[in-house]
Amino acid sequence: MPALRIRTEVGPEQLSFAPGGSVADILRATPYPVRQPCGGRGRCGGCRVRVTEGTTGDLTVTERRYLSSEQVRNGTRLACQLIPAADLTVEIIDQAVAWRELRDDEYAPVSPPSVPPVLSAVPAGLGVAVDLGTTEIRVTLWDTVRGRRLGGCTGPNPQSAFGADVLSRLGTASWTGEDAAIIGRVARDAIGDAIGYVLRRAHLDRSDVGRVVIVGNTAMLALLTECGYDALLEPDNWAREIDCPVPDAGAWVRSWGLPSGTRVVVARSLAGFVGSDLLADVLATGMTQRSAKTLLIDFGTNSEIAVWDGTTLWVTSTPGGPAFEGCGTDFGVPAEAGAVYRVRPLAGSDGFDCDAIGDQPPRGLCGSALVDVVACLVRDGRLKKTGNFAREIGDDGVVVVGGEPELVLRKRDVDAFQRAKAAIGAGTRCLLEEAGVPSSGLERVCVCGAFGRSLDVPNAQWVGLLPGGVCLERFEMWGNAALAGCELLLLAPEGVTALDRARSNARLVNLARVPMFDDRFVESLYLEPARETRMTEGEPA
Amino acid sequence: MTDEITIEETIKGYNEAIFDTDRDRALEVVHEALASGMTPEDIVFKVVLPAMDQMIKAISEAFDTNLAQHYMTAQIADSVVTEMIPKFKQAPEVAGRVVIGSAEGDLHSLGKRIVIGCLRARMIEVTDLGVNVSPARFVDEAVAHGASVIGVSAMMVHTARGPNGSLGVRRILKERGLEDRIKIIVGGAPYRYDHELYKTVGADAWAEDGVTAGGVIAGLAEEVPT
């Protein structure tokens, strides 16, 4: 059998393969998977490898589209497109497991808990909080005795290779038991890897870790524990609690190289479509501990929405797709170095002024920048509220950033944006209507999710992503609130009690069964401020 | 009485309104044309249906239409045709009978609504079976309504590929010896990512989007002897 050779941290590795699959396929079940932001469909250009030795076929149309001439010259290819027939040596550019430290601005702005943590709850001094997201995994390391964060990292969830969104990943897992085992393992390995990364950065030893707490959406927890993932494909189970117990904590802890007594807690979900990540958001923002009427939106590949009316917590979730996490559009990137996160119109021209993370040359646009671009173009009339460009622009789209790579907003990107924002806009309206809370009556709006802290609220309101009629000072930008909530669970045992209270006060709303959802969705496709929620007497809920 | 409006002006005005997804403007164009003496038959056959075909053509040539346009094309066409038919000199013949629903385990209905609007506009009798429809119900209802086409919508990979979607409908059609009389068409996101998937799940045809599906189903309904 021919072999694929790669260079890894620990030296060269040789992987034999049966010809027919792509380089991405060959790497998928190894410890060295390549990133697949679009799920391997050739829609993102995010799985680059460089061929250093061996012969390959011609570039595919997809590769010609995503790779610059410079990249083509130095042997760069896309792993999902490159199908080797003979021995090949490659260097993986877009590694699936590539951790980086979390920046200060990525943490939710919460102070550590005022109550000193109870020592007896944590046998050793170090604790780890894990937010297992569909697209990204975030991990922080804590000195639980002093209540101090020692470090944190983020990296892509390598399960993306098995489907970009929750349902396609659940579908793959349910197709064969073998895949389910691999999908579970790659997530567990990634968590172990991330724990190793933060410990190394903090110059600390694995032997001091005593507790690991994991939150996530229900599908991620089911795939992690290899428990109940097939039940999640049945709509009847979406509103039921899906139990995802850790099957063998000892084995997990061993594979992570942690002491045998380490406690692993997978925080319980609320229901099939509302995970413990939303509960962690609720905990971090303290929304149920005050009387203020609150809307919370956690933007992600799967977005969760919650409304607190003062006595009841109304919750739902809506699969808007990964457009806000930097996938699903041609130029989308996660919020990493080189990602443009803010865009303003450049005075006196039709160009744009861009801020990129880490002052690097712009590599792509992350979700918050996409909102800015669309809002700017709608404001200046180049984009119509229907999602069509003005006639003089035609279908070539608008150049947002010139140069190499040129970042162009095309109509299909606008369509992806419209669908994602309509799912959230319609979900928000339906939930507010079900709860009987008009958007003008909201006293707090908590915006959570990776892009949350750099999102421009007026722009988001202008295109109908966030509810209108709410003044600016009522918006709170939380960023990774689910991670913050997970940290509270790690540090303060009373968090669990608060969580249980929130759970028992919760009312689930399955949007698929809300008769008005489709109409709200279509209305929300338009790029215009969201309409005021209607609370007409007698209108069926 | 308004001034004489040419059919070209009406076509142009209607198409622009469709492109801008402006329902009010589309209806205004139609009513102005009626008032100036255009027949309801001409409005349907020379304005509304060609506009739908033009949208299908635009979709097939490049990705330059969006979901809002698809939805409004269907809804506007449906409401105009529904308004015009009672004004026809002679009731139009039913162009075919179709049952349509979302596969078992699938609660998505938007794509299906687009298809239904387009089919009604084409004067095809559609029975909407709703969402989460079992294979047996698809077949029973098709037989009960004398339908020659079953439309199975599935937005998720498992409902598209699973045994209780199109595959189940195919199995029952075979068991009951109905395969010559009833065709299956599928649609939904999974079919867009794998253009051969419709064959794997035993369907006779698939369509990329709701507006195109209207045209494909109309073609299938014509093929099958009723």
User: For A289-344, what is each residue's pLDDT tens digit?
Assistant: 889 999 999 988 788 999 999 999 999 998 776 677 666 666 777 777 788 889 99
**pLDDT (0 to 100) of residue A46:** 77
Given CB atoms, is A38 within the 8 Å cutoff of chain B? no
In this predicted structure, what is the pLDDT of residue A77?
94
Chain B residues touching residue A170 (CB < 8 angstroms): 158
**What's the gap in Å between the CA of B94 and the closest CA on chain A?**
28
Say if B1 falls within a structural domain: no
Chain A residues touching B68 at Cβ < 8 A: 386-387, 418, 522, 525-526
pLDDT of residue A507: 93
Q: Domain range for residue B219?
A: 97-223
- pLDDT above 70 coverage of chain A, percent: 91
Residue A94 has pLDDT above 90, yes or no: no
Q: Do the Cβ atoms of B66 and A415 come within 8 Å? A: yes
Strands A444-448 and A475-479: parallel
Distance CA(A494)–CA(A489), nearest Å, equals: 8
User: Is B105's CB within 8 Å of A235's CB?
Assistant: yes
Chain-chain contact of A386 with B71 (C-beta, under 8 angstroms): no
Same domain, B144 and B210: yes
Instruction: Judge if B110 and B181 occupy the same domain.
Output: yes
Restricting to A residues 178-197, those with a Cβ less than 8 Å away from any Cβ of B are: none
Instruction: Examine the pLDDT at A535 and tell me if it is beyond 70.
Output: no
Name the domain boundary from B87, B117, B139: B87
The Cα–Cα gap between B27 and B47 comes to 12
Domain stop point among B87, B122, B156: B87
Q: For chain B, say whether A395 makes contact (Cβ under 8 Å).
A: yes
Do A108 and A284 meet the contact criterion of CB atoms below 8 Å apart? yes
CA distance A394 to chain B (A): 9
**Which residue from B107, B131, B157 is facing A168, i.e. has the nearest CB?**
B157
Task: Calculate how close chain A gets to B159, using CA atoms only, in Å.
Answer: 9
* Model confidence pLDDT, tens digit, residues A360-388: 778 888 889 999 999 999 999 999 888 88
Nearest chain B residue to A231 by CA: give it: B105
Give the closest of A386, A415, A513 to B20, CB-based: A386
| Residues of B with Cβ-Cβ distance to A521 under 8 angstroms | 110
3-state secondary structure of B28: helix
Cα–Cα distance between B195 and B203 in angstroms, integer?
Answer: 12
Tell me whether B90 touches chain A (CB under 8 Å). Answer: no
* A337 and chain B in contact, CB less than 8 A: no
The predicted model scores a pTM of 0.81
Chain position carrying tokens 């990512």: B193
Give the pair of three-digit tokens for residue B204: 């006779």
Contact B19 A418 (CB under 8 A): no
Do B80 and B104 fall into the same domain? no
Query: Do A3-92 and A100-277 fold alike per CATH?
Result: no
Q: Is the dihedral of CA A37, A458, A294, A493 positive or negative?
A: positive
Do B47 and B122 share a structural domain? Answer: no
| Chain A residues touching residue B132 (CB < 8 angstroms) | 235
Q: A115: pLDDT confidence band, cut at 50, 70 and 90? A: very low
Phi-psi region of A446 (alpha: psi -120 to 50; beta: other; left: phi over 0): beta
CA distances (Å), origin A491, targets A50, A147, A194, A253, A347: 44, 7, 19, 20, 49
Q: How confident is the model at residue A179 (pLDDT cuts 50, 70, 90)?
A: confident
- Least-confidence region, from A96-100, A205-209, A537-541: A537-541
Q: Are B112 and B160 within one domain?
A: yes
The reply to whether residue A522 touches residue B110, judged by beta carbons under 8 angstroms, is yes
Contact A276, A242 (CB under 8 A): no
Question: How many domains is chain B built from?
Answer: 2
Cα–Cα distance between A39 and A35 in angstroms, integer?
9
Q: Does an H or E element contain A223, and which?
A: helix A218-225
pLDDT of A9 reads: 62
The verdict on B83 and B184 lying in the same domain is no
Inspect the interface and report whether the beta carbons of B156 and A167 lie closer than 8 Å: yes
**Residue that is last in its domain, among B53, B68, B87:** B87
Using a CB-CB distance cutoff of 8 angstroms, which residues of chain B are in contact with residue A419?
67
Q: Is A529 on the interface with B (CB under 8 A)?
A: no
pLDDT greater than 90 at residue A140: yes
CATH number of the structural domain spanning residue B108: 3.40.50.280
A395 vs B19, B62, B156: nearest CB: B62
- CATH 3.10.105.10 assigned to domain A100-277? The reply is no
Looking at the DSSP bridge assignments, the partners of residue A342 are A355
Phi-psi sector, A337: left (phi>0), alpha (psi -120 to 50), beta: beta
B163 and B59 within one domain: no
Whether B130 and B201 map to the same domain: the answer is: yes
Same-domain status, B181 and B217: yes
B208 at A interface, C-beta within 8 A? no
Q: What is the ipTM of this complex?
A: 0.74
Which segments in chain B show pLDDT lower than 70?
1-3, 62-64, 225-226
| Mean of pLDDT over chain A | 85
Any CB–CB contact under 8 A between A100 and chain B? no
Residues A464, A429: contact at Cβ < 8 Å? no
Q: Does A235 touch chain B if contact means CB atoms closer than 8 Å?
A: yes
What dotted CATH number matches A286-322+416-524? Answer: 3.30.420.40
B74's tokens: 């269907």
Q: To the nearest whole angstrom, how far is the Cα of A234 from the nearest Cα of chain B?
A: 6
Q: Are residues B82 and B110 in the same domain?
A: no
User: Least CB-CB distance to B110: which of A167, A234, A521?
Assistant: A521
According to the model, what pLDDT value does residue A508 have?
A: 92
Q: Do B158 and A41 touch (CB under 8 A)?
A: no
Q: What is the per-residue DSSP string for A354-414?
A: EEEGGGPPP-EE-HHHHHHHHHHHHHTTSB-TTSPBPTTTGGG-EEEE-SSS-EEE-HHHH
User: Is residue A485 within 8 Å of A281, Cβ to Cβ?
Assistant: yes
The pLDDT assigned to B64 comes to 65
Domain coordinates of chain A in residue numbers? 3-92, 100-277, 286-322+416-524, 331-409
Q: Mind listing the pLDDT tens digit for each residue in A446-476?
A: 999 877 678 899 999 999 999 988 999 999 9
Tokens standing for residue A172: 């793959």
Instruction: Tell me which chain A residues have a C-beta less than 8 angstroms from the C-beta of B108.
Output: 512
A174 close to B (CB below 8 A): yes
**How far off is chain B from A427, nearest CA to CA, in Å?**
14
CB A491 within 8 A of CB A147: yes
CA dihedral A310, A314, A320, A322 (to 10 degrees): 70
Radius of gyration of the CA atoms of chain A, in A: 23
pLDDT tens, A284-301? 999 998 899 999 999 887
On whether any CB of chain B is under 8 Å from the CB of A41, the answer is yes
User: How many Å from the N-terminal Cα to the C-terminal Cα in chain A?
Assistant: 62
A residues 454..483 contacting B (CB < 8 A):
none
CB contact A275 to B (< 8 Å): no
A11-28 in b/e burial notation, b at 16+ Cβ within 10 A?
Answer: eeeebebeeeebbbbbbb
- B66:A411 CB<8 A: yes
Residues 6+ apart with CB under 8 A from A370: A323, A324, A329, A332, A413, A417
Q: Are B62 and A395 spatial neighbours (Cβ–Cβ below 8 Å)?
A: yes
- Contact between B157 and A167 using a beta-carbon 8 Å cutoff: yes
pLDDT of A541 reads 37
Q: Minimum mean pLDDT among A48-62, A160-174, B69-83: which range? A: A160-174
Helix or strand run (H / E) with residue A430? helix A411-435
CATH T-level fold of A3-92? Ubiquitin-like (UB roll) (3.10.20)
Task: Tell me what pLDDT residue A10 has.
Answer: 64
Contact of B64 with chain A, judged by CB distance below 8 Å, is answered with yes
- Same domain, residue pair B71 and B112: no
Cα–Cα distance, A35 to A92 (Å, whole number): 9
Residue entry with tokens 């004489």? B4
Please indicate whether, in this complex, the C-beta atoms of A171 and B68 are within 8 angstroms of each other: no
Helix (H) or strand (E) holding A190: helix A177-201
B193: contact with A, CB 8 A cutoff: yes
Is the pLDDT assigned to residue A78 strictly greater than 60? yes
pLDDT of A37: 66
Do B136 and B43 share a structural domain?
no
pLDDT tens for each residue of B37-50: 999 999 999 999 99
